[in-house]
C-alpha cells in the first residue's frame, strides 16, 4: 500500500477538514514504493526519525509534524530532518487536532474510555469545534485508581495533580496536550476532574478558586494515546505492522 492510500484511509477515518488547525495535516514528506512498516511517535524529530531508520520503517506517523501554518526554509535543523527522511525513503504523515478530536481513535476519547468513563459528551471548544470529551463513572472513584488506569503515578515529578475539588470523583473531562484553555469550561460544567497534558502558571489560582481537581499528566504522555490507537486500526484493517518510537520530552 502506498503512502497516499494510507493517508486517504486516515482522512476518511478522522475527517481533518471538519476542524480548523494550524498544522499541515496529512502527508508532509512523500516516499516511494509500498509501506511495509510504520513507525509512530508523538513528535517528528531527528531522534524519532533515527528510531524509524533503525526499525526499518518506511513511514513515520506522528501527532506533531514539521509544518505549522507558515512556510519554513529548508535549512539547518529543518533541512537535516527532511534530508534524513528522503535519504532513507521514509514518508511523514502528521495529524494534529483531528487526531485529538476523533471519536474513533483520538487522544481524548481513548484516554476517557481507558479510565472507564461512559455516556460520553463532546467537550472543549477550540476555534468553534469540540476536541475533547466528558462523561461520568458509574460510581464515584478516587484519583489513585484513575492514575493507575492511566498508567501514571501522581507522585511522579513530571505529573501535577491539583486537588481542590471533590475527593470522590464522578464526572471527568479530557483535553490532551496543551488543553488548559478549556479549564473554565470544565468549571462552568461542574466537572469533578479535568485531565489535560500541561499547566500554565496562572491556571493554579483558577483551579483553586474554581474548586475543581486537575490532573496534568504530561503533554507528551497524553498524546501517545491517539497515534497508538490509530496505528492499531491501521494494523487491524490494512494489515500493516507498526512500532512505537517512544521519546518522552518530560513536558
List the domains of the chain with CATH numbers: 3-95 (3.40.1390.30), 102-219 (3.40.1390.30)
pLDDT of 88 = 98
Query: Do residues 26 and 16 lie in contact, with contact meaning Cβ atoms separated by under 8 Å?
Result: yes
Q: Cell numbers 472507564 label which residue?
A: 116
Which residues, 6 or more positions from 41, have their beta carbon under 8 angstroms from its beta carbon?
48, 51, 52, 60, 61, 62, 63, 227, 244, 245, 246, 247
Collapsing DSSP to helix, strand or coil, 230 comes out as helix
List per-block mean pLDDT (blocks of 10 residues) for the chain, which spans 251 residues: 98 92 96 98 98 98 95 93 98 98 97 95 92 97 98 95 98 97 97 97 97 98 98 98 97 94
pLDDT of 72 = 85
CA–CA distance, 89 with 62 (Å, rounded to integer):
16
Q: How many other C-beta atoms can be found within 10 angstroms of the C-beta atom of residue 85?
A: 23
pLDDT of 187 = 98
CA–CA distance, 187 with 169 (Å, rounded to integer):
14
pLDDT of 68 = 94
E-only strand ranges, the chain: 26-29, 37-43, 59-64, 91-94, 118-126, 129-141, 160-163, 169-174, 193-196, 213-216, 241-244
pLDDT of 213 = 98
Pairing of strands 160-163, 193-196: unpaired
Tell me which DSSP letter residue 68 carries.
B
pLDDT of 118 = 87
pLDDT of 18 = 87
CA–CA distance, 12 with 16 (Å, rounded to integer):
9
Phi and psi at residue 158, to the nearest 5°: -95, 0
Collapsing DSSP to helix, strand or coil, 227 comes out as helix
**Burial state string for 42-69 with b = 16 or more CB within 10 A and e = fewer than 16:** bbbbeebbebbbebebbbbbbbbbbbee
pLDDT of 71 = 82
Amino acid at each position: 500500500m502506498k503512502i497516499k492510500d494510507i493517508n486517504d484511509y486516515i482522512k476518511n477515518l478522522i475527517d481533518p477538514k471538519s476542524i480548523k488547525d494550524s498544522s499541515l495535516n496529512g502527508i508532509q514528506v512523500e516516499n516511494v514504493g509500498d509501506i511495509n512498516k510504520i513507525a509512530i511517535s508523538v513528535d517528528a524529530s531527528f531522534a524519532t526519525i533515527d528510531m524509524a531508520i533503525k526499525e526499518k520503517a518506511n513511514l513515520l506517523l506522528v501527532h506533531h509534524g514539521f509544518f505549522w501554518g507558515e512556510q519554513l526554509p529548508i535549512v539547518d535543523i529543518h533541512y537535516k530532518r527532511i534530508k534524513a527522511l528522503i535519504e532513507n525513503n521514509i514518508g511523514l504523515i502528521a495529524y494534529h487536532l483531528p487526531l485529538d478530536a476523533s471519536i474513533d481513535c483520538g487522544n481524548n476519547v481513548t484516554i476517557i474510555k481507558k479510565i472507564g468513563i461512559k455516556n460520553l459528551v463532546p467537550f472543549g471548544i477550540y476555534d468553534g469545534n469540540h476536541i475533547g470529551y466528558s462523561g461520568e463513572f458509574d460510581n464515584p472513584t478516587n484519583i489513585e485508581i484513575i492514575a493507575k488506569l492511566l498508567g501514571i503515578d501522581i507522585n511522579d515529578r513530571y505529573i501535577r495533580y491539583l486537588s481542590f475539588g471533590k475527593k470522590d470523583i464522578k464526572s471527568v473531562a479530557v483535553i490532551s496536550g496543551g488543553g488548559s484553555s478549556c479549564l473554565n469550561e470544565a468549571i462552568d460544567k461542574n466537572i469533578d476532574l479535568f485531565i489535560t497534558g500541561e499547566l500554565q502558571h496562572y491556571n493554579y489560582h483558577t483551579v483553586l478558586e474554581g474548586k475543581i481537581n486537575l490532573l496534568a499528566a504530561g503533554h507528551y504522555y497524553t498524546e501517545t494515546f491517539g497515534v497508538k490507537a490509530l496505528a492499531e486500526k491501521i494494523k487491524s484493517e490494512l494489515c500493516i505492522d507498526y512500532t512505537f518510537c517512544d521519546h518522552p520530552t518530560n513536558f
